[in-house]
Amino acid sequence: MNEALKLLSLMVSREADAALIISNENRRYFTGFVSSLGYLLVTKEEAYLLVDFRYAQAAREQASGCEVISYTSLSESLGELIGSAGAKSIMLEGSAFTLNEAERIDSILGKYGAESIKGSGLDRIISKMRIVKTSSETEKIMKAQRITERALADTLKLIKEGVREKDIALELEYLMRRGGAEGVSFDLIVISGEKTSMPHGVPGDRTFRRGDFITFDIGATYKGYHSDMTRTYALGEVNQKQKRVYATVLDAQKRALEAVHGGALCSEVDAAARDHIYQAGYEGFFGHSTGHGVGLEIHEAPFVSSKSDTILQSGMVITIEPGIYIPGEFGVRIEDMVVVTGDGYINLAAAPKELIVL
């Protein structure tokens, strides 16, 4: 077993005889192997990656720290392993199994005198391991961020009146992939005008007009790791209300960043942004949390919300992204992705944040 698998095995052994992992992200995290299907069985002594014929050769070459088993009958292969390990209780990834898959696994386990433990126990164990990034993980996140910013800089040159949102989103994706991205972190958000009041608006046929705010919420993936950044630009001109809202969001974002350091509570960081926005008179216009962790998933622990009592630790990668959204008018969000350090943070986003009128 590799180090991550050894640690997982140790933590699982306190609560069960084995763990069965099926999510793409967690299989990749523990074995380094990328596939769209596969079962990682971790017992007290061994880790087995069960894959079908399509992945057998690649898994043998690439998977780290586990024995690769190519199955023709999952039921037989999994059953034999569980039987020979003498495992009676198997933790399942609660967030990854569908009801149908869990029923199928239960019927296999039942035949071999074992049973599953469902719920969030295994998810919590894995989340705790993934929440602090290794330097190799952070490097991949930084690379994804650099690809994103380079593509954004080239795309901004194309912004002018009459250009469609979805053409800009497409161009950005193309440039990211050409720049070395595996793909996009999520469907890129490029929205304009009154649509910017929708935090997750979808790029469409709307064309840019003078006086618009244009929101870019964008990210690329690199070797499985995501990046995430939001910038809001103005086109041609801005009015006083737009300026005031933009300045309020930027101040809130800076205050939240100032609150980031190892030992800070996520809820304190959220409050630093939220209190500022509410005191400026925009209570009710900031309806999402201040940020989230980023890694193999675009949204993962820790969650920087008012309800989170998670303590920030050095090595966590989080976003800080307050916003103000005024329905029917416009919205502003500014998002940076940072690495938490003992006494502060390293900002992975370099794109300027002062209001830019394109």
- Contact residues toward Mn ion (CB under 5 A) are 228, 319
* Residue 165 or 336 having the CB closest to Mn ion: 336
CB of 6 to Mn ion, least distance (A): 32
* Residue 228 or 270 having the CB closest to Mn ion: 228
CB of 200 to Mn ion, least distance (A): 10
Answer for the pair 85, 114: CB distance below 8 angstroms, yes or no.
no
Distances from the Cα of 123 to the Cα of 21, 40, 58, 185, 296, angstroms: 10, 14, 27, 22, 14
CB of 291 to Mn ion, least distance (A): 7
The first and second tokens of residue 194, run together, are: 């009154």
* Residue 165: DSSP 8-state: H
* Residue 93 or 297 having the CB closest to Mn ion: 297
CB of 330 to Mn ion, least distance (A): 19
Please give the sequence-ordered ranges of beta strands (E in DSSP) within the chain, or none if there are none: 18-21, 39-43, 47-51, 67-70, 89-92, 115-117, 183-184, 189-192, 213-218, 220-222, 225-226, 229-234, 291-293, 300-304, 317-320, 323-326, 330-333, 336-340, 345-347
Quote the CA–CA distance of 215 and 320 in Å, as a whole number.
Answer: 16
* Residue 111 or 200 having the CB closest to Mn ion: 200
Closest C-alpha to 83, from 154, 127, 18: 18
Closest residue to Mn ion: CB criterion: 228
The first and second tokens of residue 168, run together, are: 């800009």
The first and second tokens of residue 239, run together, are: 């009015």
* Residue 79 or 199 having the CB closest to Mn ion: 199
The number of C-alpha atoms within 13 Å of 82 and in the hemisphere containing its C-beta is 31
Closest C-alpha to 257, from 311, 314, 335: 335
CB of 317 to Mn ion, least distance (A): 11
* Residue 123 or 228 having the CB closest to Mn ion: 228
* Residue 79 or 293 having the CB closest to Mn ion: 293
CB of 321 to Mn ion, least distance (A): 5
Peptide bond into 199 cis (omega under 30): no
CB of 193 to Mn ion, least distance (A): 22
CB of 219 to Mn ion, least distance (A): 8
Quote the CA–CA distance of 241 and 82 in Å, as a whole number.
Answer: 64
* Residue 254 or 333 having the CB closest to Mn ion: 333
The first and second tokens of residue 307, run together, are: 């309800």
Closest C-alpha to 227, from 171, 273, 181: 181
CB of 255 to Mn ion, least distance (A): 18
Quote the CA–CA distance of 77 and 331 in Å, as a whole number.
Answer: 54
* Residue 228 or 297 having the CB closest to Mn ion: 228
The first and second tokens of residue 127, run together, are: 């989340």
Answer for the pair 335, 299: CB distance below 8 angstroms, yes or no.
no
